[in-house]
Amino acid sequence: MPTLCKYENCRIRPSIGNVFCSTHNIDNNKNDFSKTQCRGDVCTSKPASKNFKGYCSKCYIRLFEDDPLTIQTRCKTKEIAINDFIHCYFDGFAHQTPLWFGTTRIDNRICIDNTTICIDVVEDQSIPPKIPILSNHKYIFIRFNPDKYKIHNKSYNPMLYRRLPMLEKEINHQTNRVLQKENIEAIEIFTLFFDSP
């Protein structure tokens, strides 16, 4: 049986590839960004994109420069996007030279009181960091996996711009713990987007 228009009580067949007939397609174009123009004030020639919430990519990047989606779109690699995100949202993180713990490379870190908060962007989540214990100094490692991970044998790989707000929340949480002197262990490791049984 032929497919009918999805508009309520409409019995007209839509053209191939559409779900609404030509009469009702106009009403539903507000959700179909492929047929609408960019919402940007100065942009009139480019089509809108559902990925950029009704804007073209250039207008979205220009208007929302600190948005995680913008950072991911602008950067060539996930590591660069993560570094840019941290430096957009937080002051004081060192990035000029990496800090090495054996084979573990820490690109972003901040020292608060006697604690160093380290952001470890992992390439292989099965390799734990090798951290030397120094007297009177504490470390908090936030291990962030930007790649695929499994939960109960189901694979997940959300876009990076959806993961970055979780990283922001974890950095804020750990910073508050340090400021309130709640971190008592010499080394604490927290993981984001890791495999779990």
- pLDDT computed for residue 140 by the predictor: 93
Percent of all residues in the chain with a pLDDT value above 90, rounded to a whole number: 29
Cα separation, 146 vs 193, in Å, equals: 7
- pLDDT computed for residue 80 by the predictor: 84
Q: What pLDDT, in 10s, does the model give residues 18-48?
A: 666 766 665 444 445 555 778 777 776 677 7
pLDDT top residue among 132 and 187: 187
Q: Are 43 and 56 in contact (CB under 8 A)?
A: yes
pLDDT top residue among 115 and 12: 115
Confidence of residue 190 (pLDDT cuts 50, 70, 90): very high
Length of the chain: 197
Q: Is the pLDDT of residue 171 over 90?
A: yes
- pLDDT computed for residue 1 by the predictor: 37
The dihedral of CA 34, 37, 40, 46: what is its sign?
positive
Q: Is the pLDDT of residue 160 over 80?
A: yes
pTM, two decimals, is 0.70
In the chain, the amino acid numbered 39 is R
Q: DSSP H helical segments within 10-67, as ranges?
A: 22-25, 57-63
Q: What pLDDT, in 10s, does the model give residues 47-96?
A: 777 778 778 888 888 888 888 888 888 777 888 889 889 988 899 998 77
